[in-house]
Structure 1
Amino acid sequence: MAWFDTHCHLDFPPFNDDLSGHLASFGKANVAHCVVPAVSPDNWQTVLDLAKLPSISVALGYHPCFLNSQALGQAVQALEPELEHLYELLKQARGQVCAWGECGLDGRFPETMARQQFAFSWQIAAAQQLSLPLLIHSVRVHDQLAQLLKQQQFTQGGIIHGFSGSYVQASRFVDLGFKIGVGGTITWPRSEKTRKALKRLPLDALVLETDAPDMPLYQMTQPYNTPLNLAIIFQQLVALRSESSEQLESALWQNSVQALNLSM
């Protein structure tokens, strides 16, 4: 059984001190491929440099929680120079990246929502121009975010990362061409609504992820999350679904490859 982690931050501590050692441990556990999305100008080049590793694909984006704090007191357009720099990076590295992201909206921070919306709408349009799928961060704003994607007629698909929400909300994203990222959220007792959604969604809409080192699993004893936990997330998904574990394993891999337009 080979695992595909569609969203993990291997450039973050605690992985970046010994990435080769971590990758070796992942390989022993059959974690065959990882997608590493960047989050801000501070790590765009660092993440892009990881693209040379055979077991890693990368994405570059501007995360809503990492938007330049120096621009807080300025008009939202103050973010545009950095966004234009990101566009040029992605344009030049088109063959080295699999997606645009991580980007999106986070409803926990209403005070920055105008800046978030400006940056996300800008990135939707730019990703459409470059024919890149999106890796989307969506927290407490599923309806608003889906409406933006629909209004801007985004057609490249991608992944709604770390999904937590209802079946209706997930289905809206699937109808827009997106896969649903299944992570450690489903291990938590309080996530019954999300589990019900994942039980009902079509099999070809699902992919696995960890968001390592973040998004801890329920009763996790490790100090940080890791792609090694994909097996635990998978078993939780198997318990929800009607397919056999073999069918699920095969579909999750193919869905991941398809969502990111990879040749594997």
Structure 2
Amino acid sequence: MAWFDTHCHLDFAPFNLDLAAHLAEFKHHNIQQCLVPAVGPENWQTLVDLSSLNMLKIALGYHPCFLNKAALQGKPELLLGELEALGLLVQQHRELISAWGECGLDGRFPETMVHQEFAFNWQIKAAQQQALPLLIHSVRLHDRVAQLLKNAHFEQGGIIHGFSGSYVQASRFVDLGFKIGVGGTITWPRSEKTRKALKRLPLDALVLETDAPDMPLFEMQQQHNTPLNLIVIFEQLAALRSESPQALEQALWDNSLQVLSLEG
């Protein structure tokens, strides 16, 4: 069976130091596809260049935690130049791009929330215009993220990356057409609420991810996270679900292709 990591930053260290070797190792462990999202202007072109590699799919977007520091000192409109440059790049390379992201809101930084919402709302509209699904970073603001998506009548769906939250919150995203990104969060003992949610959600709402090299798994905090940990995350998910492991594996692969409009 093939695995799909729907969120990993393979242009970051340590992967970028010898990406070919890492990709060969992933392939050896049957990881067939990886979706690599952008975080900001500094890696948009890098990802466009990486899109030529067979097993990599890319997403271009502006991460809420990477917004231009100078722009954050003034009006949100100061971000407009970079956002428009992003929109132009996506338009120029539309056939290479599988999703828009990562983008969204992060409640750990309330002092930049006006700027975060400006950038997120702009990207929601741009993704809709380009008929691209969204790869969403949602931290401590699931209700607000869902409200903005609903207000924009966003119809392309996408993935709520690294979901951590309740069944009600997850279901709201599923009702809006989104998949729930299942990552290392479920390996942590403190994540009982998230595990309960993942146990109850429809099978066709789930995809796997690692957020490598970030989002360490429980008792693996001293190591770089890697797409190789998809198998560990899968085992944790399989222990929660009622489906057979084989049915779960197949569904996760199919769901990943479907949300990104990819062929098997």
Task: Say yes or no: does 1:215 pair with 2:215.
Answer: yes
For 1:221 and 1:179, the matched residues in 2 are separated by 27
Query: Contact (CA 8 Å) 2:174, 2:180: kept in 1 or not?
Result: yes
Q: Deviations over 1:102-144 (max 9, x none)?
A: 0000000000000000000000000000100000000000000
Matched with 2:35 is: 35
The DSSP-based 3-state class of the residue aligned with 1:16 is helix
Matched with 1:169 is: 169
Matched with 2:136 is: 136
Matched with 1:237 is: 237
Matched with 1:204 is: 204
Q: How does 1:141-156 map to 2 (within 5 A)?
A: 141-156=141-156
Matched with 1:182 is: 182
Task: Say yes or no: does 1:259 pair with 2:262.
Answer: no
For 1:102 and 1:72, the matched residues in 2 are separated by 19
Task: Say yes or no: does 1:62 pair with 2:28.
Answer: no
2:69 maps to a residue whose letter is: S
CA shift at 1:211, angstroms?
0.1
For 2:93 and 2:195, the matched residues in 1 are separated by 37
CA shift at 1:171, angstroms?
0.1
For 2:48 and 2:186, the matched residues in 1 are separated by 30
For 1:167 and 1:223, the matched residues in 2 are separated by 30
For 2:232 and 2:72, the matched residues in 1 are separated by 40
2:62 maps to a residue whose letter is: Y
The DSSP-based 3-state class of the residue aligned with 1:148 is helix
For 2:196 and 2:96, the matched residues in 1 are separated by 37
For 2:119 and 2:193, the matched residues in 1 are separated by 30
For 2:71 and 2:127, the matched residues in 1 are separated by 23
Q: Deviations over 1:162-185 (max 9, x none)?
A: 000000000000000000000000
For 2:73 and 2:216, the matched residues in 1 are separated by 34
Matched with 2:124 is: 124
The DSSP-based 3-state class of the residue aligned with 2:251 is helix
The DSSP-based 3-state class of the residue aligned with 1:43 is helix
1:135 maps to a residue whose letter is: L
2:47 maps to a residue whose letter is: V
2:3 maps to a residue whose letter is: W
CA shift at 1:203, angstroms?
0.1
Matched with 2:225 is: 225
Q: Deviations over 1:81-101 (max 9, x none)?
A: 100000000011110000000
Q: How many positions carry a matched residue from both structures?
A: 264
CA shift at 1:187, angstroms?
0.2
Q: TM-score, normalised by structure 1?
A: 0.99
The DSSP-based 3-state class of the residue aligned with 1:258 is helix
CA shift at 1:70, angstroms?
1.1
Q: How does 1:75-90 map to 2 (within 5 A)?
A: 75-90=75-90
Matched with 1:4 is: 4
The DSSP-based 3-state class of the residue aligned with 2:65 is helix
For 1:27 and 1:125, the matched residues in 2 are separated by 36
Identity %: 71
Q: Which stretches of structure 1, 4 residues or more, deviate above 3 A after TM superposition?
A: none
Structure 1: 5+ residue runs without aligned partners?
none
Structure 2: 5+ residue runs without aligned partners?
none
The DSSP-based 3-state class of the residue aligned with 2:48 is helix
The DSSP-based 3-state class of the residue aligned with 1:104 is strand
CA shift at 1:207, angstroms?
0.1
The DSSP-based 3-state class of the residue aligned with 1:108 is coil
Query: Contact (CA 8 Å) 2:216, 2:223: kept in 1 or not?
Result: no
1:66 maps to a residue whose letter is: F
CA shift at 1:221, angstroms?
6.3
Q: TM-score, normalised by structure 2?
A: 0.99
For 1:73 and 1:40, the matched residues in 2 are separated by 18
Matched with 1:26 is: 26
